[in-house]
Amino acid sequence: MDAAALEQRALPIPEGLNAPEDLVIELARVWWNGTSPIMNIRPALAEPGNIGVVLAELAWHYSHAYAEHHGFDQPTAFKAISDSWDRAHAQAASTVKTETAQ
Handedness of CA 38, 42, 45, 48 (dihedral sign): positive
Q: What is the pLDDT of residues 45-61, one digit of tens each?
A: 999 999 999 999 999 99
Confirm if 39 and 31 have CB atoms less than 8 A apart.
yes
CA angle 21, 22, 24 (to 5 degrees): 65
The bridge status of strand 37-41 relative to strand 28-32 is antiparallel
- Number of domains within the chain: 1
Domain of residue 82, residue span: 3-101
Q: What is the pLDDT of residues 60-70, one digit of tens each?
A: 999 999 999 99
* Global pTM value: 0.79
What dihedral angle (degrees, nearest 10) is formed by the CA atoms of 38, 26, 93, 56? -110
